[in-house]
Each structure stands twice: as C-alpha cells, then as structure tokens.
Chain A
Amino acid sequence: MTHDASSEPAYRTDSLIAEDIDAYLEQHQNKGLLRFITCGSVDDGKSTLIGRLLYDSKMIFEDQLASLESDSKRVGTQGQELDFALLVDGLAAEREQGITIDVAYRFFATEKRKFIVADTPGHEQYTRNMVTGASTADLAVILVDARKGVLVQTRRHSYLAHLIGIRHLVLAVNKMDLVDYDRETFDRIVADYRAFAEEIGIEGFTAIPISGFKGDNITAAPSPSTPWYDGPSLIEHLETVEIANTAAQARAFRMPVQWVNRPNLDFRGFSGLIASGTVKPGDMVRVVPSGKTSTIRSIVVMPGKAGAAGGTGGDGELDEAVAGQSVTLTFADEIDCSRGDVIAAAGDPPQASDQFEATIVWMSDDALKPGRGYWLKLATQTVTATVQEPKYEINVNTMEHLAAKTLGLNAIGVAELRTERPIVFEPYVDSRALGGFILIDKMTNATVGAGMLHFSLRRAENVHWQPVTIGREEHAGLKNQRPRVLWFTGLSGSGKSTIANAVEQKLNLMNRHTFLLDGDNVRHGLNRDLGFTEADRIENIRRVGEVARLMTDAGLIVLTAFISPFRAERRMVREMMEDGEFIEIFVDTPLDVAEARDVKGLYKKAREGTLKNFTGIDSPYEEPENAEIRVNTVDMTVEEAADYIVSRILPLK
C-alpha cells in the first residue's frame, strides 16, 4: 500500500539532535505556539487523528507504544492495527466506555511550532466542554466522516467555534480511505459546508481531505492517494496560520491589573498580563475606570540572564512589552490603581458600563435564575451581576431562536445583564480578554456559566470623553430650541414615515432645525451591512440611536421612523439620551389595517413565506407600554396626527 504512511512516522527525529545538539536547541528556542481544538464525534476519528499527530511528531515513547500495542489488541477497535485513539482516551471510566468525556489537552511540536490541542467530545450534552476548549484556541479542526458528510453535529461544532470567536476553521474530511479517496465526495462535502458556513457568517475555512488512520495529508500533501488535492497538509496549515496573540498586538494597549507590587515605600508597580497592544517607557496611559492619566516610567523584570525567555533584562528593565506578556509597570506619577482596574492607552481607553447584552452559555445542572445575583468575573474584575430573562435561546443544531424563560445545562441564549457597579469592558468580538466572562454561583462557588458581551445598553460612563468647549447647550441655544428625539415606532405600513414627514414640515415652518432619519434610507447607507436577523435589527437600532444622539448634541430635533419592534432596544436608545429628550410616539395602526394597505407589497411576501422575520407575521412587535404620545391612522388623518404631535411637544424651547 503506497499510501499507508502509518509505518513510517513523517516526523523522524531530526539528525541535527545527534550531530549538533546546541545548534538544534538554538533552532528550537524560538518556535511559536498555536493552540487549537479538534471537534467531531467519536465516530469521526478525532482521537485517532490526535493520536496520529502525536505519533507522527515523535511524541510517543517506546514504552507508551508498547502499551498501545497491547491495548490495541485487547480493547482496540482497529483489529490488529494500532488504535491511536487509545493514546488519548485518558480517564479510567471513559476507557471502559470507549469515549472521551471531558476536555483534555495534548502537546506536540514540529520544527516550526509547538501545539496545544484541546480535545473535546462531540456529544450534544457536552456543549460546555467544547466551549471551554475553544475559548483558548486560535483554530478549530472540524472533523467530518467522508462517508457521512456534513451532519447536524458538524453544524453545531462550527457554530460554537464561530460563537467563541475562532477565526481559523479547518474542515478535515476524514476517513478518505474508506471512500476510495474520491474527489467528488470531498468536493460535495466542501460545497455543503460552504453553504452552511456562509449562512452563519463564517468568513472562510480551509478544507483538507485526510485519513487519520492511514496518515494521508497529515504531514505532507498531496498524499499519493489524493493527487487531485492542491492545498496544504494539515500540519503545514497549522504551522503557518496566524496566531491570535500576535494579531492582538496591533490593537490599542490594555492591561488588566492583577496585583499591586509594593515591597517597600519606594516601589509601587502594577502587575498584569497585557491583553492587547504594546507598551514602552514614556507612553501616556490612562487608568480605567477612574480616568486618571500618567506616564509609564519603567517595565520591571527580574534581572537575570540577558536575552533569556520573556526578555529577562540584564538590568531589570524592558524597552518594550507586547500583548501576551506578563509584566510589572511603574508610573511616573502617584495615581490610584488597583486590582480590577485596566491600564490603557491614554488616547484610546476602553469604556465602563453596568448594563450589557451578552450571549450566555449555561454550564450547570441548576438552570439560570433570572434576577438572582451571581459573581461575574471579567478580566481581573469580580462583581455581583444579575441576568434578565433571556431574550431567546439558540438551538445549536438549527441556529433557530427559541423563546426561553431560563437557560438549562448546555443552553446558549442572549440576555441582558446588569452589574452592581460599572466594569471596564470591550465587546467580545474586539477582545476576548475584556469581553469574555464567567458566572459563579454564590452558594456553591461552582462556575455555572460563561458569556460574551455584545455591547453596553447604557450611554457610556463618561470616563474619558474629549472635553469640548462648545457643548450641546451652545449648539441648541444658537438654534433657539431644545433638542429632542421623536421616535416613531409601529408596524410596517402603519404610517410612521408619512406622519414623521408631516411633523417635520410643520416644524420647519416654525423655523425649527430638524432632521428626519428614515428606516429605509438609513439601511441604504450607514446600515448597508446589516440584514434582518434579530441581532442585525438590534444593531440597526443601536446605530440609529447613536446617530440621533450625536444630532441632539448638535442641537437638532431628530425624527426617526423605524419599526423598532423590541421594547429592550427602544429602552436602550431612551437611555442613551438626556432625560426628557426621548419622546416615544406609537403609531398604533392595527395589523389588519397595515396589512390591507401593504404599500410595499411586503406583507404579501411575508405571508407567502418568501420574506422571513417580518414583524407582525413571524416576528413579534412589542407594543410600547408607556409611550409619551400615541396616534393612530384609523381615527385620525395624517394632518390631524401631525398637529396633535406638535401640540404635545410644545413649547419647543
């Protein structure tokens, strides 16, 4: 069998080891480190693949090999051949059951990189294990059995990897030996997967046809059995893909403070792991949330052997430190700074808030109790937090949104949460370190959940706003008016835009400075990148809210006409504005009336099922409970409604 690579490890011991060990060590001193996760069910050959990687990179010693050989004959599933899976199935209980039940970490190295592999099971009930393993990974290898193709679990693993922010996905189509290395089979699986990946927003992936059992395209590609494959081998790909840690250096500097180092009255240093960016002596920094600024005086390290790992300086100071390093910083000024604070680039610090929207993965048998206090740990901050009733739960098999009152073990949902005091954060998509958190039960001390912050639901705490001389008062004063946001909400076709137009015309005649933000128009420009999923709708409203707020700062009366079906989002915008400046106007036209009008023909499409997520049909509209103004277009003409609204907002100054 020409393609049987199992008898010859491709990673044979480097001849340099025997010839010149010092040269070899020099070469291996400066490897990078890549962490990845393998996802697949027992049947996909995941443990076999990991065993194969260890075997091919000479990570298996003779005594282990001997016990592998005897175990393979005794309990192996591969007949007389080596069952690599036995190398990695660790704990006694699972060896008996023949399955892996938790997260295990494996290590191997090639000449270019050291690898840490998180091995997690593919069973549905173990979502939490996969999320755990994925949280530290740069890359995910999604295993698919070539005989079975893309299955529900393939989607689930891919969705979870994407959710946790893994940017590099490898679709490893395994067991190619069992489909005679058939190219069409491979191409079909890749096409299936691509369609699904695009659907859930995965930007790209690398597909590799492999056989973990036989060794094809693991270390070298193309294997003689797949001459049609022109991509890299799995190892080659793992050796060259970008490491997240390196990418983080390009972002603004942030270091959560872990520990204040105070050996005596003359030294006060702040120790932590740099989450992003770089830092040098002389850099201006800001301590968040206090907002106080100072300059970096020194980056202190233990004096030692020059040029050693971690850049131990000969003289005990570093010229520069980067994301991923653990350092101790001293400041030029005596300013307050303690555990939980974040030291950040002075000109571009993160914000603090106490209300967020987040995706939460529940990891405990005891379901989430909305409203109950949990410990929330984010970076080095630990605070009490309460989670609201989830907005929805996500079915990880179909990606559908389901109504939910709580989250049970392994459930994933989106919910609002509040912390007892503001915490420094960044959205998870920007920073795993400042956007990822765990929830701890206060009674049992168990880690019961993990989450990823989307955004703050509040106007940011003004810890570092650029002070401006001409403020909103001056802007508004010049226009002789009080800024306002007239927020029109209602069903599609309820008459929001028509009435808003009429109101603006009347205000214009009264010499008022106004601006009308219309849903359709905004979607053609600012929000061109957003679709109609619930998440996109929320983001749409958030952006409109931000724009409206800037316009009120400029002194304008802003009119907006958006369906904005969810109370939470309208509340989010209300909370962005100064008290009394947000006026919610409910255009209360019943569904049957709006649908009968169907000006744009959208209701028809929604009823036919060609338009999904349409408010009022297959997506809810949550009526305002306390709208400042309520109008309708059944009892009132457009003119009457507009006059009524203007009368209600007088006086304008």
Chain B
Amino acid sequence: MHSLTHLERLEAESIHIMREVAAEASRPVMLYSVGKDSAVMLHLARKAFYPSPPPFPLLHVDTTWKFRDMYALRDRMAETAGMELLVWRNPEALERGINPFDHGPLHTDMWKTQGLKQALDHYGFDAAFGGARRDEEKSRAKERIFSFRTASHGWDPKNQRPELWNLYNAKKAPRGQNGGESIRVFPLSNWTELDIWQYIMAEGIEIVPLYLAAPRPTVERGGLLLMVDDERFPLEPGEEPVMRSIRFRTLGCYPLTGAVESEASTLSEVVQEMLLTTTSERQGRAIDKDEGGAGMEKKKQEGYF
C-alpha cells in the first residue's frame, strides 16, 4: 500500500484536468503569466503529455510593463517545453500609451481584462487554462475548476455548473452559434501557496529570480515598495532609487507590484519567511484594493481571469 502524499494527489488531479481539456476542447490554450503558479502549471502540462509536448500553445497577455526578468524567462521556458508562444498586446492600449502611472485602474482593465478577451476571440480559443488558486481570494473559493464563460466572457457566480467527482463538463456552444462560449480551466484550484513552493522545490522548477531576495533599486510609493526596473519609471523631483534587499511574493506589472524587504535568497528561506509572516499574498497587489472585498468578484464577472 502506497499512501500518496498531498503533492502527489494534487499533481495527479491537475494532470487529469489538463488531459480532459486536451481530449474535449477543440482549441485549448494555456494562459502563461510567467509567475510561480504559471511555472508550476507549465511543468504539470509537460508531465501530463510527456513524451509529447503539451498539445496547446502558451498565451501571454502582455502589458509591456512586466519585469524584464519575466520576459527573459518566458521566452526560454516556451522553448524548453517545445510549445508555441503567443504574445498578445492590446493594440488600442498600445496606441493610447496606456500605462500604470497615468491611467490607474484603466491600465489593468485595458491591458489585462480587455486584452485577454481580444486574444481569446482573435485566436478562437474555446478553453483557457489559468493558474488561479482557490486559496488566493474569497470569490475564487467558489469558482469551479471548469468555469463556463458566455460568448462575451462573462462569469455568472450564481449560475455555475455543478461539478461532481472528477467529471468535468466541457460542452459548450461552438463558435458561430452563440458566438463562441468558452471555458476557463483552473488546474491549480486546490493548491495552496505552500503547496506551490513545496512542489517547486521538490521538482526543481525554474522560477523568475525576482522571487529570491537580492539588492535592487527601489522607491516607496503609497505604502508599496516598488522596484525601478527600467528607465520608464517616472521619478518625482528629488526622488532617488534606493538599493534595498528585496523580493516579490507575487509578480505582475512592475509599477504595480509591491516588494517586501527580505534577506531570503534561497527557496527554503523564502518559504520560511512565508510561513512566519502574517500577511496574505495578494496584499502586495494594488488590484484587489480598488473596490473592497467584492473587487475581485466584480472583475471576474467582467471577464478578468
């Protein structure tokens, strides 16, 4: 008798989910944001289909404001996995020069929410994997693993398909009939932050170096410690970037992602800090604070992942 560990059970479940999608969806895609959850999701996809490469492309919905380290790892990982990498930048946002310094919430809405919808429509994807976990945020806790979206990408939290056993309903109206309903699939639904870290260590998965502490140029803005990652960062008069030993618990657009001061330069030190710290992961992200507790739920109804 071989009692499976929690990581083995989680791995098996995620792989099972990915294979169901590969078998039942006509044009699946994996959303790849280059963060640690994406790294785990990509690794699981490679295991699920080995020795074949995963039978779907990677899609990066780019905002042009990610950390430079993220772009570098993104291109390398796609190549290692033998997968096609699609990068989508919202043309309208590009044209209007939408950026997090001047446009506030519009930045996230246009680059990420609208950009994602455009990309899914453009390529005609009918199933999209995302790396969201249920422990991240309260409205995520209620979302299904196969989360149905209307042709306009809306999510109706009160009308979700019941999900029993490990039987997932991947049926949807084909493109043309209702204009292309789709399904967002969350293979990491049942993983916690600690599970992700443990798995990264156990499997030796490569992640963006920004997760580990190192001296980096920083400024303080609105209670967040921001990294000055390139010359586009507008410094206030008299403001000087300060070198601090920092790391990131979560990665997004660099002007919106708060760092934590830390000396944790190895994975196990990062986990140690995580276990001893008492603030939840998304605190470093400006996005959840916009509209109080219901902010994320509202964003999701509008089509945000």
List of B residues within 8 angstroms of A18 by Cβ: 272, 276
CA distance A106 to B7 in the complex (A): 17
Q: Which stretch in B89-97, B108-116, B136-144, B224-232 binds the other chain?
A: B136-144
CA distance A272 to B23 in the complex (A): 11
Q: Judge if B50 is at the interface, Cβ distance under 8 Å.
A: yes
CA distance A22 to B52 in the complex (A): 35
The residues in A between 290 and 311 inclusive whose CB is less than 8 angstroms from any CB of B are: 300-302, 304-305, 308-311
The residues in B between 6 and 65 inclusive whose CB is less than 8 angstroms from any CB of A are: 6-13, 15-16, 19-20, 22-23, 46-53
Q: Which stretch in B166-174, B213-221, B238-246, B250-258 binds the other chain?
A: B166-174
Q: Which stretch in A140-148, A169-177, A322-330, A515-523 binds the other chain?
A: A322-330
Contact present for A62 and B279 (CB under 8 Å): yes
Q: Judge if A582 is at the interface, Cβ distance under 8 Å.
A: no
Q: Judge if A129 is at the interface, Cβ distance under 8 Å.
A: yes
Contact present for A259 and B164 (CB under 8 Å): no
Contact present for A132 and B157 (CB under 8 Å): no
The residues in A between 314 and 328 inclusive whose CB is less than 8 angstroms from any CB of B are: 316, 320, 322, 324-326, 328
Q: Judge if B79 is at the interface, Cβ distance under 8 Å.
A: no
CA distance A21 to B272 in the complex (A): 6
Q: Judge if A262 is at the interface, Cβ distance under 8 Å.
A: yes
The residues in B between 139 and 194 inclusive whose CB is less than 8 angstroms from any CB of A are: 139, 141-142, 157-158, 160-167, 169, 171-173, 181, 189-190, 192, 194
> Closest residue to B142 on the A side, CB-wise?
A104
Question: Interface code A166-201, partner B: CB below 8 Å = 1, 0 otherwise?
Answer: 000000000000000000000000000000000000
List of B residues within 8 angstroms of A104 by Cβ: 134, 141-142
Number of residues from B at the complex interface, CB < 8 A: 74
Q: Which stretch in A38-46, A90-98, A342-350, A400-408 binds the other chain?
A: A90-98
Contact present for B172 and A91 (CB under 8 Å): no
Q: Judge if B297 is at the interface, Cβ distance under 8 Å.
A: yes
> Closest residue to A324 on the B side, CB-wise?
B4
Q: Judge if B195 is at the interface, Cβ distance under 8 Å.
A: yes
- How many whole Å from B127's CB to the nearest CB in chain A? 13
Q: Which stretch in B69-77, B99-107, B117-125, B196-204 binds the other chain?
A: B196-204
CA distance A379 to B138 in the complex (A): 30
Most interface-central of A267, A432, A445 (chain B CB within 10 A): A445
Q: Which stretch in A24-32, A468-476, A548-556, A638-646 binds the other chain?
A: A24-32
Contact present for B52 and A263 (CB under 8 Å): yes
Contacting residue for B8 out of A28, A324, A433, CB 8 A: A324
Contacting residue for A309 out of B19, B52, B203, CB 8 A: B203
Most interface-central of B4, B161, B203 (chain A CB within 10 A): B4
> Closest residue to B22 on the A side, CB-wise?
A259
- How many whole Å from B38's CB to the nearest CB in chain A? 18
Contact present for A436 and B50 (CB under 8 Å): no
Contacting residue for A25 out of B3, B167, B271, CB 8 A: B271
- How many whole Å from B23's CB to the nearest CB in chain A? 5
Contact present for A437 and B167 (CB under 8 Å): yes
Contact present for B16 and A273 (CB under 8 Å): yes
The residues in A between 46 and 90 inclusive whose CB is less than 8 angstroms from any CB of B are: 61-65, 67, 88, 90
CA distance A257 to B37 in the complex (A): 28
- How many whole Å from A292's CB to the nearest CB in chain B? 21
Given A17-B272, A310-B12, verify A105-B163 contact (CB < 8 Å): no
- How many whole Å from B149's CB to the nearest CB in chain A? 12
Contact present for B276 and A246 (CB under 8 Å): no
List of A residues within 8 angstroms of B135 by Cβ: 106-107
List of A residues within 8 angstroms of B261 by Cβ: none
List of A residues within 8 angstroms of B51 by Cβ: 261, 263, 267, 269, 300, 302
Contact present for A363 and B5 (CB under 8 Å): no
Q: Judge if A458 is at the interface, Cβ distance under 8 Å.
A: no
Contact present for B160 and A326 (CB under 8 Å): no
Contact present for A325 and B141 (CB under 8 Å): no
Contact present for A28 and B169 (CB under 8 Å): no
CA distance A504 to B55 in the complex (A): 67
The residues in A between 129 and 153 inclusive whose CB is less than 8 angstroms from any CB of B are: 129, 131-132, 135-136
Q: Judge if B209 is at the interface, Cβ distance under 8 Å.
A: no
CA distance A305 to B47 in the complex (A): 12
Given A32-B6, A63-B280, A249-B1, verify A308-B203 contact (CB < 8 Å): yes
Contact present for B202 and A450 (CB under 8 Å): no
List of A residues within 8 angstroms of B277 by Cβ: 61
List of B residues within 8 angstroms of A33 by Cβ: 4-6, 9-10
Interface of B is mostly: helix
Q: Which stretch in A109-117, A219-227, A232-240, A617-625 binds the other chain?
A: A109-117
Total A-B contacts with CB atoms under 8 angstroms apart: 234
Contacting residue for B173 out of A93, A262, A445, CB 8 A: A445
- How many whole Å from B185's CB to the nearest CB in chain A? 14
- How many whole Å from A648's CB to the nearest CB in chain B? 50
List of B residues within 8 angstroms of A30 by Cβ: 5
List of B residues within 8 angstroms of A258 by Cβ: 16, 19-20, 23
List of B residues within 8 angstroms of A326 by Cβ: 11-13, 15-16, 19, 48
Contact present for B141 and A90 (CB under 8 Å): yes
- How many whole Å from B18's CB to the nearest CB in chain A? 9
Contact present for B138 and A136 (CB under 8 Å): no
CA distance A273 to B4 in the complex (A): 13
Given A90-B139, A132-B163, A375-B171, verify A109-B4 contact (CB < 8 Å): no
Contact present for A310 and B167 (CB under 8 Å): no
Contacting residue for A135 out of B22, B165, B172, B202, CB 8 A: B165
> Closest residue to A34 on the B side, CB-wise?
B6
CA distance A437 to B169 in the complex (A): 11
Contact present for A450 and B293 (CB under 8 Å): no
Q: Judge if A380 is at the interface, Cβ distance under 8 Å.
A: yes
CA distance A334 to B168 in the complex (A): 30
Given A92-B297, A104-B141, A262-B52, verify A136-B194 contact (CB < 8 Å): no
CA distance A61 to B279 in the complex (A): 5
> Closest residue to A445 on the B side, CB-wise?
B171
Given A91-B157, A259-B22, verify A312-B276 contact (CB < 8 Å): no
CA distance A271 to B19 in the complex (A): 8
List of A residues within 8 angstroms of B142 by Cβ: 90-91, 102-105
Q: Judge if A13 is at the interface, Cβ distance under 8 Å.
A: yes
Q: Judge if A484 is at the interface, Cβ distance under 8 Å.
A: no
Contacting residue for B195 out of A114, A131, A273, A328, CB 8 A: A114
> Closest residue to A128 on the B side, CB-wise?
B162
Given A17-B276, A440-B171, verify A304-B203 contact (CB < 8 Å): yes
Given A33-B9, A106-B141, A436-B164, verify A63-B1 contact (CB < 8 Å): no
List of B residues within 8 angstroms of A250 by Cβ: 1
- How many whole Å from A379's CB to the nearest CB in chain B? 8
Q: Judge if A630 is at the interface, Cβ distance under 8 Å.
A: no
List of B residues within 8 angstroms of A316 by Cβ: 50
CA distance A437 to B141 in the complex (A): 24
Q: Judge if A245 is at the interface, Cβ distance under 8 Å.
A: yes
Which 3 pairs between the two chains have the least Cβ-Cβ distance?
A62-B278, A92-B294, A90-B138
* 13 CB-based A-B contacts, threshold 8 Å: A33-B10, A90-B138, A95-B294, A102-B157, A258-B23, A262-B52, A272-B19, A301-B47, A301-B50, A302-B46, A309-B5, A309-B11, A312-B203
Given contacts A25-B198, A63-B279, A302-B47, 5 further A-B contacts (CB under 8 A): A61-B277, A103-B142, A131-B162, A132-B164, A259-B19
Residues of A in contact with B (beta carbons under 8 Å apart) = 13, 17-18, 21-22, 24-25, 28-33, 61-65, 67, 88, 90-93, 95, 101-107, 109, 113-114, 116, 128-129, 131-132, 135-136, 243, 245-246, 249-250, 258-259, 261-263, 267, 269, 271-273, 278, 300-302, 304-305, 308-312, 316, 320, 322, 324-326, 328, 339, 363, 375, 377-380, 432-433, 436-438, 440, 445-447, 450
